[in-house]
Amino acid sequence: MDLQGYFDRIGYRGGTEPTLQTLGSLVSAHVRHIPFENLDPLMGVPVIDLGSAALAAKLVARRRGGYCYEHNNLMREVLCELGFGADRLAGRVVWMSPQGLDGPPHPQTHQALAVTIPGSDQQYLVDVGFGGQTPTAPIPMVPGDIQQTSHEPFRLRERGSDADEYVLETLIGERWRPLYILGLQPRPLIDMQVGSWYVSTYPESNFVIGLSAALVTDDARWNLRGRNLAVHAGGGTERIRFDDAAQVCTALTDRFGIDLAGLGDVEAKVATVLDT
């Protein structure tokens, strides 16, 4: 893993000792510089190789973004190189689901990390790949503890009497809203590869039939879906509706910093999914 190349990509100039301060600074820098995006599945390219070389080539060298499996496996490689412990966890996304936690089970198609600091048993939830609502700081894996981040507060709470799952929630306005159900059993890489293959190839996957991009700034969240860009800042939202695919591609390049070179005719493909 080319750590210096990664540090340059995220503009990081802080310490490298495996401390909570280092962990928080890396998470903060990562979510501000590497966007969430699903251009590979949209363009018909399955995301299967989650090895460090492939992830570094795409997200670091080629200045692309990715989705949860890519972001969080890249972050895991970095953290392990620095001496942290980092287990892969799988989650079931319920964010924006009409029935929320009360609906039928969702597939385990999200990845996060349980990170430990040397000399401590305390674990922290790290998730740099949840798109428009990505936590911008490590979350203590202590049910009920509220973690104030540079954006919204987050917390975990136990789900079920056997406490083998947590629910990650965020406070928006005056309401705690669930993001995903998090399994606490560490998962091997092969489970993540299967999940990534599924969400990048399943014909009805949102990543295959729609366009999404997201990025965090110091005081805002930029969320693109189809032709619609929402900029959430200071408790309000600015909404921008692009007229055509050319404007969307310009936003992907200029606002999100995504290099579209080598992807084929992105503009033509985007034109087919502007309203999904």
Kindly list the catalytic residues.
Answer: 68, 110, 127
CA-atom Rg of the chain in angstroms: 18
Count CB neighbours of 91 within 10 A.
25
- Report how far apart, in Å, the C-alpha atoms of 192 and of each of 47, 107, 125, 177 are: 11, 12, 17, 25
Sign, Cα dihedral of 149, 90, 121, 128:
negative
- Give kind and range of the element (H or E) at residue 195: helix 189-201
For residue 209, which of 121, 124, 274 has the smallest C-alpha distance? 274
Residues near 46 by Cβ (< 8 Å), separated by ≥ 6? 40, 197, 200, 201
Instruction: Determine phi and psi for 44, rounding to 5 degrees.
Output: 85, 20
Residues near 125 by Cβ (< 8 Å), separated by ≥ 6? 89, 112, 113, 114, 115, 135, 138, 139, 140, 141, 156, 168, 182
Residues near 101 by Cβ (< 8 Å), separated by ≥ 6? 94, 159, 167, 178, 181
Bridge partners of 180, per DSSP, are 93, 168
The token pair at 141 is 């894996």
